[in-house]
Amino acid sequence: MTEPDVLERSIREHQEWQRVAWQHLSRPSLTTFESRELRNQIKQSGTELRRYLAMRSERFRFGIKSRENDASPSINLN
């Protein structure tokens, strides 16, 4: 799996985890402690998600390729 694929997978996983966590947070059966802990985990996940999104943005912005593409030999026909 290439680096961009891993990055995209990590982004999707964090987004899905946050979606489920927010749904879980809406349950009235959660204790105050559980709610607080879940909110802290959501904040931490959000920080990681923002970092991954920034990395993806930098790749798109500067056209950074994966290492596999960079490692492929190029033939100069001059």
pLDDT digits (tens, 9 = 90+) for 20-66: 999 999 999 999 999 999 999 999 999 999 999 999 998 888 876 65
Q: Is residue 30 part of a domain?
A: yes
Q: Is residue 70 part of a domain?
A: no
The predicted model scores a pTM of 0.69
Domain tally for the chain? 1
Q: Is residue 73 part of a domain?
A: no
Q: Is residue 46 part of a domain?
A: yes
Q: Is residue 27 part of a domain?
A: yes
Going by pLDDT thresholds of 50, 70 and 90, the confidence category of residue 1 is low
Q: Is residue 77 part of a domain?
A: no
Which residues 6+ apart lie within 8 Å of 19 measured at CB?
none
The two tokens of residue 37 are 């802990």
Residue 64: which of 55, 72, 53 has the closest Cα?
Answer: 55
Q: Is residue 67 part of a domain?
A: no
Structural domain of residue 32, as residue ranges? 3-61
C-beta of residue 67 within 8 angstroms of C-beta of residue 3: yes
Alpha carbons 9 and 1: distance in angstroms, whole number: 10
